[in-house]
């Protein structure tokens, strides 16, 4: 029966309304990850994140009336033993007696933050309207034994401008420069300037690299630090701003370690479920043996048991086998088959004509050969459905790792995200950014295999 244009329009409107309703939480989560912390507490709530202001001059005031100032503070020398040695500001010839931080463009000293003379932070009133980069420098008295310094620490008050700064450190014997650091928040931050040959994992750590040629300080007892401020283009600033929460989440979340464990569990569980369940289902669907149907009923009956009933006995069994605090209890059961997948594949295999098997047997193929060469290629859609289901269950499994694994280095991403949420409660931008990173593999898996997945589930239901 052909539908009228009005009825078809109503169907499309209903479908689009459903898409909007179900996609709204995901869209809201993605937009929230692009916001900074002060945007999350703004009233009234705004759905869309703000674009970065990219001020040409600092200090500057945003649309909410908040003042943002770029400030440079104290410098520390940190030894290999972890001792922090504060460096005293010093004056140098040619600087008109200026001690500490100076604007290289104007030749004037930076003013104290808030007008307080005892404040260690100095406000940098920069002007990028006439050039794409400006610089400020400071001179400090070196402690004895510069060679024992592991890294330097520079206090910086970010101004949320999303401009970039790079630091050059000159000692009497070395001249080193850092990579660019983004001014992506409005909080004070300690920049860790690691000397060449050392490696640190903090997001605020910048590795210093040696210049081939440079002008060393004249006074051997002084340390010179130059901070270069470079203007960001609108496109660069927007990309930096919208990924700020992701970079912060990666700084504090051991994402790659958790992901490595999750990927291992997913691969082992998918392989185990596909192999074992297809073998068991083939036995129930195609082979004739005593008690087959009765045992299949028992397999179906196990699906009716709540998992909470067997949780404690399973834990005691695995602990007695010495598998506690290992990943073995989380992947080995998949090689012992899953009742739901056995039922799914058995129903699919029952629809395969027996003539194909008879022809294979005439050619001398064994039962195992028929399973591998005839049956598996014909049930590919169902196998894809099994693989996707197992992938989702394993990737999102939280209770299993929480029960069997105590070592933080073996935890998967699901538990790692919970630990991260407990440690940074209230930091919703970072929490949702970490959640989005965990969600991406699931979405990618479904979109890449959605045709086989839907086909497998549909055909199994129709032909059962």
pLDDT class of 223 with cuts at 50, 70, 90: confident
Q: Mean pLDDT, to the nearest integer, of 215-237? A: 81
| Segment 136-148 mean pLDDT | 77
What is the average per-residue pLDDT within 223-230? 90
pLDDT bucket at 464, cuts 50 / 70 / 90:
very low
pLDDT of residue 190: 84
Assess whether pLDDT exceeds 70 at residue 138.
Answer: yes
From residue 209, give the alpha-carbon distance in Å to each of 39, 62, 156, 181, 197. 37, 36, 20, 15, 9
Question: Is 443 within a domain?
Answer: yes
Q: Could you tell me the two tokens for 402?
A: 């929480």
- Name the domain boundary from 198, 232, 266: 232
> Tens of pLDDT along 180-194?
888 887 778 888 887
Give the model's pLDDT for residue 332. Answer: 95
The stretch 266-282 carries a mean pLDDT of: 95
Q: Name the residue with tokens 């590795």.
A: 207
Does residue 93 register a pLDDT over 60?
no
109 assigned to some structural domain: yes
- 300-317: average pLDDT: 89
If one counts the domains in the chain, the total is: 3
Residue 88: per-residue pLDDT: 87
**pLDDT attached to residue 456:** 56
Position 449 scores a pLDDT of: 73
pLDDT at 273 over 50: yes
Q: Which tops the pLDDT comparison, 426 or 14?
A: 14
pTM of the shown model? 0.80
Cα separation, 167 vs 106, whole angstroms: 19
| Full residue range of the structural domain in which residue 72 is found | 60-232
Lowest mean pLDDT among 52-61, 104-113, 251-260, 444-453: 444-453
Same-domain pairing of 313 and 212: no
Which two three-digit tokens encode residue 219?
A: 């006074």
**38, part of any domain:** no
Q: Are residue 314 and residue 224 in the same domain, yes or no? A: no
CATH code where residue 359 lies: 1.10.3720.10
């Amino acid at each position: 029966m052909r539908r009228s244009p009005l009825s078809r329009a109503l169907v499309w409107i209903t479908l689009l309304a459903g898409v909007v309703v179900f996609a709204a939480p995901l869209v809201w989560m993605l937009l929230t990850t692009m916001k900074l912390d002060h945007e999350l507490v703004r009233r009234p709530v705004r759905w869309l994140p703000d674009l970065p202001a990219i001020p040409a001059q600092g200090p500057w005031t945003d649309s909410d009336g908040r003042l943002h100032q770029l400030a440079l503070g104290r410098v520390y020398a940190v030894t290999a033993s972890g001792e922090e040695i504060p460096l005293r500001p010093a004056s140098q010839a040619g600087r008109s007696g200026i001690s500490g931080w100076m604007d290289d463009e104007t030749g004037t000293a930076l003013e104290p933050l808030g007008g307080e003379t005892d404040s260690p932070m100095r406000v940098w009133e920069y002007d990028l309207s006439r050039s794409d980069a400006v610089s400020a420098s400071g001179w400090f008295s070196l402690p004895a034994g510069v060679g024992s310094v592991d890294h330097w620490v520079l206090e910086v008050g970010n101004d949320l401008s999303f401009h970039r700064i790079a630091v050059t450190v000159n000692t009497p014997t070395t001249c080193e420069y850092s990579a660019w650091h983004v001014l992506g928040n409005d909080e004070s931050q300690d920049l860790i300037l690691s000397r060449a040959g050392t490696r640190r994992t903090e997001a605020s750590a910048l590795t210093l690299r040696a210049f081939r040629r440079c002008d060393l300080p004249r006074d051997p007892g002084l340390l010179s630090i130059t901070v270069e401020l470079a203007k960001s283009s609108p496109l660069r600033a927007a990309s930096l701003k919208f990924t700020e929460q992701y970079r912060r989440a990666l700084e504090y979340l051991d994402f790659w370690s958790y992901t490595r464990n999750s990927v291992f569990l997913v691969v082992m569980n998918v392989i185990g479920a596909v192999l074992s369940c297809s073998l068991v289902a083939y036995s129930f669907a195609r082979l004739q043996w005593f008690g087959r149907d009765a045992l299949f009923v028992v397999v179906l009956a196990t699906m009716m048991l709540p998992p909470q009933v067997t949780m404690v006995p399973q834990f005691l069994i695995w602990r007695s086998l010495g598998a506690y605090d290992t990943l073995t209890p989380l992947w080995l059961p998949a090689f012992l088959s899953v009742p739901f997948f056995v039922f799914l594949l058995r129903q699919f295999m029952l629809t395969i004509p027996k003539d194909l098997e008879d022809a294979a047997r005439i050619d001398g193929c064994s039962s195992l050969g028929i399973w591998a060469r005839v049956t598996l290629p014909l049930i590919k859609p169902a196998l894809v459905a099994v693989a996707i289901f197992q992938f989702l269950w394993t990737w999102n499994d939280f209770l299993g790792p929480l029960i069997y694994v105590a070592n933080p280095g073996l935890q998967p991403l699901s538990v790692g995200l919970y630990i991260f949420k407990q440690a940074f409660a209230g930091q919703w931008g970072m929490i949702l950014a970490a959640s989005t990173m965990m969600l991406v593999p699931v979405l990618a898996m479904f979109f890449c295999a959605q045709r086989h997945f839907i086909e497998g589930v549909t055909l199994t239901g129709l032909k059962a």
